[in-house]
């Protein structure tokens, strides 16, 4: 069940992985700002999922968003 949704527009170019990680970061920030205790966030980007689960430091724009 979808309770709420939000759309944002960013201009510029980015890799799909960077764009997905920015989207996840923005979604988590939005969830936190509403004070929600439980939320489900889904993605189909395996690279982002693996990066989020990894403890490896990544020195890149993608890594800075993941951190």
**pLDDT for residue 46:** 94
**pLDDT for residue 55:** 83
| DSSP per-residue string spanning 1-67 | -----------S---HHHHHHHHHHHHHHHHHHHT-S--------HHHHHHHH------SHHHHHH-
**pLDDT for residue 35:** 93
Q: Where are the domains of the chain?
A: 16-66
pLDDT in tens, 21-56: 989 899 989 999 999 998 888 899 999 899 888 888
**pLDDT for residue 65:** 82
């Amino acid at each position: 069940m979808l309770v709420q949704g939000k759309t944002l527009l960013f201009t510029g170019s980015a890799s799909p992985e960077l764009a997905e990680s920015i989207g996840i970061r923005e979604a988590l920030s939005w969830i936190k700002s509403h004070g929600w205790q439980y939320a489900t966030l889904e993605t189909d980007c395996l690279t982002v999922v693996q990066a989020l689960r990894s403890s490896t430091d990544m020195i890149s724009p993608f890594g800075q968003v993941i951190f």
